[in-house]
Structure formats: structure tokens, C-alpha cells
Amino acid sequence: MTELAISKMRFSCSRIACSLALLLCGSLSFCSEQEAAAKTGDVSPAPHASRPVNSEGFQKAAAAAQAASADNRFPEAIRLYARATELNPSWSEGWWRLGTLLFDAGRYRESRDAFTHFLSVERREPGPALAMIGLSDFHLKRYPEALSATERGMKLGLGDNPDFGQVVLYHDGVLQTKLGRPEVALQRLTLAANRLAAAHPDSSAPAVLGNEDLVDALGLAALRMPMLPSEVPDSEKPVVRLAGQAQAQIALSDRPAAEVQLKQLVALYPSHPGVHSMYGVFLTKEHPPLALEEFRREIEVSPHDAVARIQIAFALLNVGDYEQGERYASQAVALAPNDFIAHVVCGRLLLELGKTDQALQQLRTAVKLAPSSADAHFALSRALSQSGQATEAAREREAFEHLKALAEAHNP
């Protein structure tokens, strides 16, 4: 892949994703071993093969499949790889090649099945195959299943090809937004932006801002709009694009440029849900009073918005206005009972007000809703310690330390 091609690459999962997946094959030890064995005729069934291999027929089909693929005769290659894997169900490299060819042909259900077969016979380095299952599920609109697969794939490792990692990271991010987890989406998409910028040190901002797929994904996450970039109505595209450009500048740590675009966003779209909250988050650290104004404006625009109330509650917690903060936090809990962050901030405020039993109730709910949240466990450990429940407090502190270590290992 040329440098020019890489610079123009968008995070779509069509032929580029398939090509990247094929490139991964060279980094997995089984691929070269199995391919060499097929070419020399020395292919033995795995110990767990379900039936004897037709050795001669398999060798011919495997060699013909590889030749057809090398000559870009993809429909024929699909047919031959399907035949070869039927003759030798333990040929993991064949399942991999078949899966990528089917994916590239838009036959996503069959592609998913091929990668599932691959995982059943090749237990080493399963991350890339899980990611390809996730990308297949994405095209099948099986969004929860797709997110589960990409998350597992990233956790286990995606191999050495950075472009493939970017494709998976992007799709994981847009799925997080689609399924109502914009905070996680922003983490994933910010990482994707930073990696793209690092790959183009002489033109980092143009590389990121010129990637419209990534920019739109950042805009949707920042505005908390639970949809895919492909689902954005024409009437919403300008606000999403402008929000995404601002969020991309934030990801690149160019705060002056981000502020210019955020002010333009607020001026052009003052009544659009999410705009004032986005600007408020930007202002929180350096200009807390202005941030509070933006969050209050967000509530005027979106009276049932819980996020702005959560932000206000945290701001009031930080300045010691616990009573007013608790009112906003309680409203957020009522509006979004499944948002663990609302329960965390409500519990912390109740604790400061000396309402320990109520605080414990809120923080236990937070841990139940988000058992993998280090912040939830830490807040609960403090409340338990303050209430004299030392043993349980120690357990929660241990859970916090464990989750914190995992997060640091995953994002060094």
C-alpha cells in the first residue's frame, strides 16, 4: 500500500478491510506453515479433525485456490477455498482466506461463518479473527454482537498491521456511539485520531481533518447522537461535521483552533441538542463558571437531558456546593436511572452531606450497573470506609486497584 493510498484511506470496511486482514495473515505463524505444507503436499489433519482428509483432492483444491486468489480470480478462489476446507475442515489458513474473500465480496454472513470455523480449529492469536467477525456483524447490522466481537478482538490483540487496527478501532468507536456509550466512543475515536496523526507527523491535522468518516464519527460522539455516520440525515450533516472538526482539534490538543470552531458551532446551532454540553465540557477545566452557563443552556434546550445535570453536579461538588449539586444529581438519576455516572456523583454528594445510607445505596447501584468502572468502586470504598464497614471497603479498594492496573496496562 503506497503512502498516498494510506493518507487517503477512510475507515470504511470494504475491500480495504479485507486487504488489511489478508496482510495480517503473514504475521500469524500458522499461515506460512499451512501454506507451505499445502504447496509441498505435506498437509496433515489436526488431531481434532472430524473426518479423514482426502489428501490428494485437498492438495489440488488448495493449490488451485491459492493460484486463483493470486490471479485475482476471486469468485473462483471462493469456490475452491470452500471445496478445500470441506475436504480438510482443519485447514485454518484456508478458512482465513475464505473468510476474507467472502467479506470482500459482501457475503458477510458466510464470511462470519468462515471466521467462526477458523477460530474452532486455530486457537492461537484469535484477536484478528474476532475483529473480522465483528466487522462482518457490523455489515449484518448485528450491532451489539459486532461490538462484543471487536472489543474482545482488541483486548486479545489485533496483530502487527496498524492499518487493520485503525479500521477495527474506528468501527468499535462508531458502535459505541450507536449503542449509547459516547464517552467510550470518544476514547476510541480520539485514539484513532492520534494514531492517524502520528502516522503523518508532517501533516497530522490535515490527515485527521481530511478523514471525513473519522470527523463525522467524532461529531456524533461529541453530540451524543446514537447513530452511525451513514445514518445522519442530510439536515444534520453540517452540525455533525462542524462538531467533529472541533472534536478532532481537541483530540490533536489544538485548543485554540477547537475553541474557534466551538464558538462557531454555538453561534450557528444554539438550539441543537448537545451543542452547549459539548462546549461546556471544553470549558470545564479552564473556565468553570462559563462551563456551568453552557450546561444550564443545554438544559433549556433539552429539558430532559441528564448529562448536563451530571456535569453541573460534578462542578458543584468540586466547589463545595453540595446541596444544590445533590438536587441536580438526583434529577439526573431520575432521568437516567441506568447511567452509573449519575449514581456516582449523587452518591458522592450525599456522602458529603452526611447522608451515608443514601450514598451507599446510590454507589452500590453504580457498581452494579458498571462493575468494570474503577471510579465506581473507589467511590463506594470511600463511603464504606466512612460508614465503618472496613472489610467491604477493603474489597472495593482492591477492585479499584485491580481495574486501575488493567486500564494502565491497556493504555500505557
Eight-state DSSP code of residue 309: H
Query: What percent of the chain has pLDDT above 70?
Result: 86
Note the pLDDT tens digit of each residue in 357-368: 999 999 999 999
- Which pLDDT value is given to residue 404? 84
Dist CA 131 CA 80 (whole Å): 24
Q: Is the pLDDT of residue 6 over 80?
A: no
**Model confidence band, residue 160 (pLDDT cutoffs 50, 70, 90):** confident
As a whole number, mean pLDDT of residues 223-237 equals: 96
Q: Determine the angle formed by the axes of helices 237-251 and 182-199, rounding to 10 degrees.
A: 60
- Please state, in angstroms and rounded to a whole number, the distance separating the CA atoms of residues 115 and 403: 31
- CA-nearest of 408, 351, 395, 401 to 375 is 401
Q: Which residues of 120-131 are buried (b: 16+ CB within 10 A; e: fewer)?
A: ebbeebbbbbbb
Band the pLDDT of 56: cuts 50, 70, 90: confident
Q: 178 is written with which cell numbers?
A: 450507536
pLDDT higher than threshold 60 for residue 14: no
Q: How many whole angstroms separate alpha carbon 215 and alpha carbon 88?
A: 45
pLDDT tens digits for range 291-316: 999 999 999 999 999 999 999 999 99
Q: What is the pLDDT of residue 407?
A: 73
**Burial classification of residue 148, based on how many CB atoms lie within 10 Å of its CB (0-12 exposed, 13-18 middle, 19 or more buried):** middle
- Over residues 377-383, the mean pLDDT reads 94
pTM: 0.83
Residue 33 pLDDT > 70: no
Confidence (pLDDT) at 285: 87
Instruction: Look at the block and give the residue holding cell 474452532.
Output: 120
**pLDDT, position 52:** 52
pLDDT at 110: 96
- With a cut of 90, say whether residue 11 has pLDDT above it: no
Res. 257: pLDDT tops 50 = yes
pLDDT higher than 60, residue 350 = yes
Query: Helices (DSSP H) in 224-254: which residue ranges?
Result: 237-251
Residues contacting 405, CB < 8 A, separation 6+: none
In the prediction, which pLDDT does 251 show?
95
Say how many residues make up the chain.
Answer: 412
Predicted confidence (pLDDT) per residue in 172-187, tens digit: 999 999 999 898 899 9
Whether the pLDDT of residue 97 is over 90: the answer is yes
Q: Write down the pLDDT at residue 66.
A: 94
47 has pLDDT over 60: no
Amino acid (1-letter code) at residue 353: L
C-alpha cell at 167: 479500521
DSSP state of 125: S
pLDDT score for 411: 55
Q: Determine contact, residues 95/118, Cβ cutoff 8 Å.
A: yes
Q: For the chain, which domains are there?
A: 10-178 (1.25.40.10), 329-412 (1.25.40.10)
Mean pLDDT for 270-292 is: 94
Query: How confident is the model over 35-53, as a mean pLDDT?
Result: 41
Stretch 110-121: mean pLDDT = 95
Least confident of 1-10, 210-219, 246-255: 1-10
3-class SS of residue 272: coil
Q: Please indicate whether residue 251 or residue 48 has the higher confidence score (pLDDT).
A: 251
Residue type, 188: R
Can you give the pLDDT at residue 410? Answer: 57
Written as nine digits, the cell of 172 is 468499535
With bands split at pLDDT 50, 70 and 90, how would you rate the model's confidence at 24? very low
| Overall average pLDDT of the 310-326 stretch | 95
Burial class (CB in 10 A: 0-12, 13-18, 19+), 40: exposed
Whether 101 contacts 74, CB under 8 Å: yes
Please tell me the predicted confidence (pLDDT) of residue 372: 86
Confidence at residue 159, expressed as pLDDT on a 0 to 100 scale? 87
DSSP string over 172-223:
HHHHHHHTT-HHHHHHHHHHHHHHHHHH-TTSHHHHHHT-HHHHHHHHHHHH
